Structure 1
Amino acid sequence: MDRISLLPEDLILKILSSVPTKFSVTTSLLSKRWCYLWKHVPKLLFYLGHSDSQRASRLVHTFLLLNKAPVLESMHLSLGQNGSSIDIDTWTRVAISRSVRNLLYFRFSATLRLPRSLYTCETLVTLTLIAAIIVDVPLTNICFPSLKALILLFVDFLSDEIVSSLLCGCPVLTELNVSRFSNARVKTFTVFVPSLQCLTIIDIKKGSQAQGDDVGFVIKAPSLNSLTIYSEFSWFCSLVKMPYLVKANVKLPHGDSKKFKGCLTSAKHLSLCLQPPLDPSHIGVFDQLVSLNLCTCSLDWCGLILRHTPKLRVLRFVLFRANVSPKIVNIIKKCRMSYGDSITQWEQTSSVPQCLISSLKTVEWIDYQGRESEKKTVMYFLKNSTQLKKVSIRSLASINLNEKHKMLLELASAQRISSECRLLFT
């Protein structure tokens, strides 16, 4: 501990900011130098959990009153079922008076009533709400002039209009992250934010209840450069053209391809899993696309989309995964059951997609099973991709060594038009 005491005060405060506040307070017992350091910590982390409610509230009150940091950089409140509305109101008002920049509330599926003053906080840069039902949100006079990031993880509101009003009050918002369950009260999640650059929407189906065709989202964010949509239950998705889009990951079980016409065509990196596949008349030309990930359940329209990607360099066949938890990934694996031994559309035509002749360098296949349609697809690339440098096949882990060896021999004996093409099989 003596060695830590020799560190610069700014560094010590950073260390204390990374632990729950009640632990940073205990460092006051270490030495005279540490006696008051905890009072200057700019980041406060309170975990009330299921502890004594009154005692926990007193701790938060006391620390907020004693804290002397010139600016409160962040306050995280993990409330459990504790923390009365009066307490939360008071703590939030104090944080706002201290020019708080980052706020996080974790409520464990209980209602959360935030003070009206929060909705006009001028200093707030990041607001995170987790596992709560937000009530008493004003429909007018919402203004977060500095808010850049809004994270809503399994948060519910009482109506669609509240979401629209909240987002309209964020004129400089650049990042929005939304996760929601299928039993949410908000049916149509509308994102109309001209300044938005990064959007993530994760929809998780909860229970077996069927969803109506009025459940979905509308996205009007023309400045987006990064888009992730993973939905298990939304029946519609409406997009506008996004000319600055660089990266998109889209998985929709009920995708209406007409809504996608021209909206994703500026992307350089794209991951797609759509059921049903895109209508040929609504695909558009992806003239900037260099990297494409296609879900293996979409194998039957791979040839179709390749005819609209003239500059494609890397093509991956992979079970679609968004940046979500392992539990969600396990749910996504059900996608594997939705495709059989379909025949790819390019086998019915004589012309070869332009990208196979002029640009495609790498083909990868994750969780290859050696089905007839998979084998024919790989062989098609080996036979027709004149610029191909590498074909990398990673077989499904559950397949035994004898079967893997047989798959390797089948592919290794296939015709290759590119003399520089290497076949890697694992």
Structure 2
Amino acid sequence: METTCVIQKTQKKQKLSEKEDIDGNIKGLGSLPEEVLRHILSFLPTRDAVRTSVLSKRWEYLWVSIPNLDFDRYIYDKRKLVERELLMNFVDRALCLRDSSSVIKRFTLCCDELGDGFDVVYDSRIYSWISTAVNHNVQELNLDIRYFSLPSCLFTCKTLTSLYLNMWWNILKPPTTICFSNLKILTIERVKFSNEYLTQQLFSGLPVLEELKLEDCSWGNLKFVTISAPKLHSLSIFEMLDDDIERSSDLCLVMIVGDSLKEFYYKGLMSAEYCLYNSFSVEKAEIVTKPEYDRKPKNIARFLWNLLIGLSGVELLRLSSDMVKVLSNSPEFLPHMPMFNNLIDLIIVDKSVDLDCTVLLKILQKSPCLQTLNFSEGISLSLNREEDDMILDPVPPCFLSHLKWIKVGNYFGNENELFGVKILLENAVVLDKIIITCPVSCYKKFERQVKVFTQLFEHPRRSQNCKIILEFL
């Protein structure tokens, strides 16, 4: 009993001490200038910042001037209309109590289940929230809403530097006057473009834009659009790799004027024809497509050739093996392969590629300065070509002078894989190393590992300095 009493007394004393510490911390924070306190609150989620209003009278309205307001669906359950109303009232209160002179640096509204274009009351409140953010000189605006009509003031906001817009495949209806004079980052996701003139106005009113991302968007029935931003250095276009996205019968031609473009990334089904104009400044590029879903393979091949021509100045090029396959099925375009005089790094992704692929060989022939060659998912060579020494004939110039590093992923030790690696070793004159990555699950047996080592290390290498490195991942 005595021991129990002692423990209880100790716990009581400890709790008292903790309370004193908390009170002391509150008093310590309370002595700080309001500007510092607001800065501290800016690091909290908006909901938690609002909760600090109960700490004391001084804290009651500190939160109304915090620079970042993030209203996410975390407090909203679409199955409960009561919580829907709570969220709406919460946002209303946060904006109404805000000082008219306070700046909103970041405003995030993620409530795609609220606005639907049919509920006038809720849609008008969303309209009002966005307008209020613009009136408070918002700098970063993130909108994840199922909403049809955005306020006109948004499209002429002079303070906006970053805009994220996700409309869940609803139609974007911009006004006739558009000028984002300070917008540097623009991400448009799940948006349908319907009016050719207004869409053109949007992509022409971006004088200082540096980064543009279009993700899962639909060009609808548009025939022609030009993306022209004089300072654009990064463009990413990601389309859904299935048939869920709505497509028109006639493909839209999207002309990309890339005077300052440094990076270009495309992933999708080529649901539009993308042409790069005056894009010699592009240094990094990626093109990933899946031909098994394509409905017009000849058109797709032509689109891909046009993209390659526009990317002739790249230093790093990442291509999907499926894209290479599409082009190989349209040999009429081979004579039009551009020179890649600046290309240093070539990466083939997604699937194993056949070394005998005509397009791959053509790219290698046209890349005299290539230094690294990465087959991330593996390489193979048809068994009936085993004794054919003419596969790399003529030997690509880069194999004789520049190619220093080759990587082959997903190496299982099959004969067709080994044949492909042997061709590389026999023709790369200045190669420093070849890295073979093997799935560890396939090489658990020691005898299997020894066999792979022997096959690779005993084969003659054209480069006397070449190291063979095996990695088990």
* Fold-level similarity (TM above 0.5): yes
Q: Which amino acid aligns with 1:284?
A: P
Could you tell me whether the CA contact under 8 Å between 1:242 and 1:263 is conserved in 2? yes
Give the superposition deviation at 1:14.
5.2
State whether structure 2 residue 350 is matched by structure 1 residue 318.
no
Length-normalised TM-score, structure 1 = 0.83
Q: Which amino acid aligns with 1:89?
A: Y
Could you tell me whether the CA contact under 8 Å between 2:172 and 2:193 is conserved in 1? no
Residues 59-107 of structure 1, C-alpha deviation per residue, up to 9 Å, x if partnerless? 1122113234732111000113125211111111111111111111112
CA distance in 2 between partners of 1:103 and 1:21 (Å): 15
For residues 302 and 133 of structure 1, do their structure 2 counterparts lie closer, same or farther at Cα, with a shift above 3 Å needed?
A: closer
Report the counterpart of residue 149 of structure 1 in structure 2.
Answer: 185
For residues 261 and 199 of structure 1, do their structure 2 counterparts lie closer, same or farther at Cα, with a shift above 3 Å needed?
A: closer
CA distance in 1 between partners of 2:408 and 2:59 (Å): 56
Report the counterpart of residue 333 of structure 1 in structure 2.
Answer: none
Could you tell me whether the CA contact under 8 Å between 1:385 and 1:418 is conserved in 2? yes
Q: Which amino acid aligns with 1:237?
A: Y
User: What are structure 2's unaligned runs of at least 5 residues?
Assistant: 1-21, 116-121, 292-299
For residues 125 and 24 of structure 1, do their structure 2 counterparts lie closer, same or farther at Cα, with a shift above 3 Å needed?
A: same
Please identify the structure whose Cα radius of gyration is greater.
2
Report the counterpart of residue 238 of structure 1 in structure 2.
Answer: 275
CA distance in 1 between partners of 2:137 and 2:222 (Å): 35
State whether structure 2 residue 315 is matched by structure 1 residue 268.
yes
Paired residue secondary structure (1:103): strand
For residues 30 and 208 of structure 1, do their structure 2 counterparts lie closer, same or farther at Cα, with a shift above 3 Å needed?
A: closer
Could you tell me whether the CA contact under 8 Å between 2:188 and 2:214 is conserved in 1? yes
State whether structure 2 residue 231 is matched by structure 1 residue 193.
no
CA distance in 2 between partners of 1:397 and 1:64 (Å): 57
CA distance in 1 between partners of 2:126 and 2:375 (Å): 48
Counterparts of 1:73-152 in structure 2, within 5 Å, are 73-83=105-115, 84-107=122-145, 110-135=146-171, 137-138=173-174, 140-152=176-188
For residues 371 and 343 of structure 1, do their structure 2 counterparts lie closer, same or farther at Cα, with a shift above 3 Å needed?
A: farther
Candidates 385, 388, 410, aligned match of 2:428: 385
For residues 389 and 413 of structure 1, do their structure 2 counterparts lie closer, same or farther at Cα, with a shift above 3 Å needed?
A: same
Q: Which amino acid aligns with 1:276?
A: V
Q: Which amino acid aligns with 1:308?
A: K
State whether structure 2 residue 395 is matched by structure 1 residue 352.
yes
Residues 152-191 of structure 1, C-alpha deviation per residue, up to 9 Å, x if partnerless? 1222233455432321222222211111167x73666845
CA distance in 2 between partners of 1:10 and 1:370 (Å): 65
For residues 201 and 307 of structure 1, do their structure 2 counterparts lie closer, same or farther at Cα, with a shift above 3 Å needed?
A: same
Report the counterpart of residue 214 of structure 1 in structure 2.
Answer: 250
CA distance in 1 between partners of 2:214 and 2:238 (Å): 6
Give the superposition deviation at 1:115.
0.9
CA distance in 2 between partners of 1:7 and 1:359 (Å): 62
Give the superposition deviation at 1:397.
5.4
Query: Percent identity of the aligned residues?
Result: 27
CA distance in 2 between partners of 1:205 and 1:128 (Å): 22
Residues 376-395 of structure 1, C-alpha deviation per residue, up to 9 Å, x if partnerless? 33222222222211111112
Candidates 46, 52, 55, aligned match of 1:21: 46
CA distance in 2 between partners of 1:162 and 1:129 (Å): 16
User: What are structure 1's unaligned runs of at least 5 residues?
Assistant: 321-335
Give the superposition deviation at 1:133.
4.1
CA distance in 1 between partners of 2:420 and 2:188 (Å): 41
Length-normalised TM-score, structure 2 = 0.76
CA distance in 2 between partners of 1:342 and 1:236 (Å): 38
Give the superposition deviation at 1:342.
9.0
Give the superposition deviation at 1:285.
1.3
Give the superposition deviation at 1:37.
3.4
Could you tell me whether the CA contact under 8 Å between 2:127 and 2:151 is conserved in 1? yes
Q: Which amino acid aligns with 1:358?
A: S
Give the superposition deviation at 1:36.
4.1
CA distance in 2 between partners of 1:23 and 1:170 (Å): 36
Candidates 290, 294, 318, aligned match of 2:344: 290
For residues 238 and 158 of structure 1, do their structure 2 counterparts lie closer, same or farther at Cα, with a shift above 3 Å needed?
A: same
Count of paired positions: 407
For residues 210 and 41 of structure 1, do their structure 2 counterparts lie closer, same or farther at Cα, with a shift above 3 Å needed?
A: closer
State whether structure 2 residue 450 is matched by structure 1 residue 414.
no
Paired residue secondary structure (1:376): helix
Report the counterpart of residue 12 of structure 2 in structure 1.
Answer: none
